[in-house]
Amino acid sequence: METLFIPLDYDYFDWQGKNYLRIIGRNEKGKRLCVIDKFNPYLWAILKKGVSEEKIKNLIQKIEKINIKGSTRITTIKKVEVKDKRFLGKQVKALKIFITNYKDAHPVADELDFPEIDARRGYDVPLLTKYIIESGFVPLKWHKIKGRLLNGTLEFGGIDRIDVDECYEAEKIEEAEEQAFHPRILAFDIEAGEFGIGKGEILMVSLVGKNFKKVLSWKKCPENLDYVECFKDEADMLETFVKYVREFSPDVLVGYFSDGFDMPYLRARAEKNKVRLALGLDNRQPTFARGRIPSASIAGIVHIDIFRFIDSVYSQYLTSETLGLNDVASELLGEGKKDFDAFEHVKNKKQEWQEFFEYNLQDSVLTYKLAEKLWPDMLEFSKIIQEPLFEITRSSMSQHVEAFILHHLERYNEIEEKRPLHDEIGERRQREKYEGAFVFQPTPGLYENLAIFDFTSMHASIIVSHNISKTTLLEKKEKDCYESPELELEGRKRKFYFSKKPGFFPSLLGEIVELRKKYKKEFKEQPDPIKKARSNAYKLLANAYYGYTGFFGARYYSVESAASTLAFVRKFNKWTIEKVSEQGYKVIFGDTDSVGFKLSGKTKEQTLKFLEKLNSELPGIMELELEGFYKRGIWVKKRTGDFGAKKKYALIDEQGKLKVRGFETVRRDWCPLARQLQNKVLQAILEDGNEKKALELIKETIKKIKNREVNKKDIMIRTQLKKPLDEYKSITPHVIAARKIKEKGLPIDLGMLLEYFIAETRGKKKLVREKVKLPDEKGEYNIKYYLERQILPAVENIIEVFNVNGKEIINGKKQMKLLDF
């Protein structure tokens, strides 16, 4: 039998002591199929240099006798082969040791304690990763499967007795031509009576798919909402939820924060009600893998918590201030959550059931739309990294980088390095920090006609151009090698040297950068979401690569590499600043990979020509590009000290578009009133080149504050709770806000955004925290606080740029003047 197949969900099982894979996917007609494949696990024993043939033979005989006896299986050595391999870039002889069950790879490695063996590797890569590398059966690409149709016999212990159309035992798997694939997506969301997992009842569950929307409820039966279905109790509702999911037969079941909330809640309530949450195609209940956030997985269906993908990968593209469903959906879909206070409804037993149902449905609608919108990104990430969707949507960027490397080592005949052990991680984390990038000290002022140059993927291009990595690092200087600038590490000045023989680590990064360029070009020529996602995925990967070298959990961790890369970053940034100055431009700012300067009478054409010249002097694939030309820009004084603040500026381009960095405008822990005013002030100043209109704007706002005409939502300050409430050494306003919420009986979650305002208070209260009130608390805003601690700080150093006697203003009269308006 032969069929086309796209693999979606990977799982493994044991049969007669051996590992098998069960892969669920679809054929080209949309039928759901299952493929059973064998797996031949092995690990590596890297031999010491110069071990004789004779000794190797003896060693192999000893190894072949190893067996691991467990309660359910005995793992033995199937065969041992001698191979010429590379390890950390060096040529080695290694034994490829095939074993019967990968779950015992670790104990087998422990047994390989022979004097001829230098190192043991390849026992700590996750089984699925190992399988995909070996089989080439990569996720989300079409394959042609030749195999035997299984028919529900007990051949594999009945593993094929699952809810699929057909199940094959694979005999041959080969890649097939690409074609479009549209997954069946089903989104879900629950509403519960209490926030604590399982503490309250699940009041309703919504489900949204293509041409499918339902709200399941048991608390209330509305007459006029056709999508609401009513049940006699919670258990009945949960059973129907399971039934509907099974009937819809989704490839992807998606929630928003469902790993952390919906799934564990469903599990807890199902247990309580003695309902089996048999969502898996094999009728199993969801399982929860351990981890910082437990990942809920369903056999045969890819459960995606879209929040986790956004959190670890996609958030870099977002400007929303929180990663909550409302903010993210508003930004990506232009549509937010329904305005409804579910907590109020439950707590005060309100009877706004219609609104509640709509609210619940809308959450699933948004989750569904987000999943559709982000599908190209998840798809491309999965195809590029070659890891299954489930893993892709839950991994950090460093894990993505590492997985990408692991999946491409075979091309370099390279044996994988091991994961650092607990003690090693500890040591790495404790080691002294190394010096970072260079930031140019700006001079405060308003400047006209500016240009900004920046390096494209600077860290990546430095690593590639200087062949920097753990495995290309030389012990000492050689005749022809790359030499890092002098840097300080562990208290002494030193340099590092890297071989000119291309290493797999920088080479792979070189490929990533190349592919990024290629797909970016393709996207520009003929834009579509897939091309965009592909180009973005490579870009993200390239940018995360440097961070990976300095990440303590990395297999290819290398402080020397990270420190050297940064030394080059500093060198090239300063080099650019110098060159630009020498050419007669006035440099205004510079940070890490960018330099901004005044055109100083030169034309754009001259500047672009000069850019070309600079590029001809850069090594390897390093490249400077024009970030943009700007009409005006403003830099302000630091609040403490009499010099320009770094990482704080605002620019306006020729189209009048504002670009604000670092100012309160872009800081979410300032009230909207101050932020909006500052933004308007910056806009006015940069448009007109003078402060007249700005002063008017400030005057207006001050008047509004004094007359108590400011909207309440505009004075709210939002601050994130970054650690458990009782760990705070300093009791700041937002800690008070959190305590107040706790007193109300609401949950305090790590990472939640606390909202509060500063109110007028009676009596002698000096500290800000004593005036904190929650949004729904009664009280008037504190005029003095908002004038002096929000509005004034947000605008005073901006308008100060226009005053010749700048120093006097900050200490004296103008402050008073401003407030006297």
Partner DNA sequence: GTTAAGGCCATACC
Partner DNA sequence: ACCGGTATGGCCTTAAC
Rule CB under 7 A: is residue 669 a binding residue for DNA?
A: yes
Q: CA-to-CA distance for 328 and 374, rounded, in angstroms?
A: 12
From 318, 323, 333, 439, residue interacting with DNA (rule: CB under 7 A): 439
Q: Which residue blocks in 228-324 are alpha helix, DSSP H? A: 234-248, 262-272, 306-312
Q: Residue 349: CB partners within 8 Å, gap ≥ 6?
A: none
Q: Is 756 helix (H, G, I), strand (E, B) or coil?
A: strand
Q: From start to end of 456-593, where are the E strands?
A: 473-474, 481-483, 487-489, 492-494, 497-499, 586-591
Rule CB under 7 A: is residue 668 a binding residue for DNA?
A: yes
> Contact 246/281 with Cβ under 8 angstroms?
no
Q: CA-to-CA distance for 204 and 218, rounded, in angstroms?
A: 7
**Beta carbon nearer to DNA, 555 or 602:** 555
Rule CB under 7 A: is residue 433 a binding residue for DNA?
A: yes
> Contact 672/716 with Cβ under 8 angstroms?
yes
Rule CB under 7 A: is residue 576 a binding residue for DNA?
A: no
From 340, 552, 575, 802, residue interacting with DNA (rule: CB under 7 A): 552
**Beta carbon nearer to DNA, 124 or 163:** 124
**Beta carbon nearer to DNA, 267 or 637:** 637
Q: Give me the 282-301 binding string for DNA, x by CB under 7 A, dash otherwise.
A: ---------xx---------
Binding segment for DNA (CB under 7 A), chosen from 53-61, 267-275, 324-332, 592-600, is 592-600
Rule CB under 7 A: is residue 660 a binding residue for DNA?
A: yes
Rounded least distance, CB 815 to DNA, Å = 13
**Beta carbon nearer to DNA, 231 or 440:** 440
Q: From start to end of 574-675, where are the E strands?
A: 586-591, 594-598, 624-637, 644-652, 658-661
Q: Which of residues 709-728 bind DNA (CB under 7 A)?
A: 718-723, 727-728
Binding segment for DNA (CB under 7 A), chosen from 175-183, 377-385, 479-487, 545-553, is 545-553
Q: Residue 159: CB partners within 8 Å, gap ≥ 6?
A: 13, 15, 20, 22, 36, 282
Rule CB under 7 A: is residue 730 a binding residue for DNA?
A: yes
- 228 token code pair: 């609401």
DSSP type of residue 286: P
Binding segment for DNA (CB under 7 A), chosen from 326-334, 520-528, 533-541, 657-665, is 657-665
β-strand 252-255 against 185-192: which pairing, if any?
A: parallel
From 73, 96, 369, 638, residue interacting with DNA (rule: CB under 7 A): 638
CA 208 to chain centre: 26
Rule CB under 7 A: is residue 623 a binding residue for DNA?
A: no
Rule CB under 7 A: is residue 417 a binding residue for DNA?
A: no
Rule CB under 7 A: is residue 732 a binding residue for DNA?
A: yes
**Beta carbon nearer to DNA, 285 or 573:** 573
**Beta carbon nearer to DNA, 320 or 499:** 320
> Contact 168/145 with Cβ under 8 angstroms?
yes
Q: CA-to-CA distance for 421 and 109, rounded, in angstroms?
A: 15
**Beta carbon nearer to DNA, 44 or 557:** 557
Q: CA-to-CA distance for 535 and 377, rounded, in angstroms?
A: 10
Q: CA-to-CA distance for 369 and 475, rounded, in angstroms?
A: 54
Rule CB under 7 A: is residue 398 a binding residue for DNA?
A: yes
Which is nearest to 387 in space by CA: 463, 323, 460, 309? Answer: 309
Binding segment for DNA (CB under 7 A), chosen from 54-62, 126-134, 276-284, 591-599, is 591-599
Beta bridge partner(s), residue 451: 597, 629
**Beta carbon nearer to DNA, 482 or 635:** 635
End-to-end CA distance of the chain: 85
Rule CB under 7 A: is residue 811 a binding residue for DNA?
A: no
**Beta carbon nearer to DNA, 147 or 644:** 644
Given 3-state DSSP classes, what are the helix, strand and coil percentages for the chain, each rounded to the nearest 5? Answer: 40, 25, 35
From 65, 729, 762, 778, residue interacting with DNA (rule: CB under 7 A): 729
Q: Which of residues 750-789 bind DNA (CB under 7 A)?
A: 753, 767-769, 789
**Beta carbon nearer to DNA, 130 or 769:** 769
From 27, 273, 396, 815, residue interacting with DNA (rule: CB under 7 A): 396
Rg (CA), the chain: 31
Rounded least distance, CB 294 to DNA, Å = 10
For 702, 775, 784, the CA distances from 768, given in Å and listed in that order, are 20, 16, 11
Rounded least distance, CB 680 to DNA, Å = 17
Which residues contribute to the site for DNA (CB under 7 A)? Answer: 291-292, 321, 396-399, 433-437, 439, 544, 547-548, 550-553, 566, 591-594, 636, 638-640, 645-648, 660-662, 666-669, 718-723, 727-734, 753, 767-769, 789, 793, 797
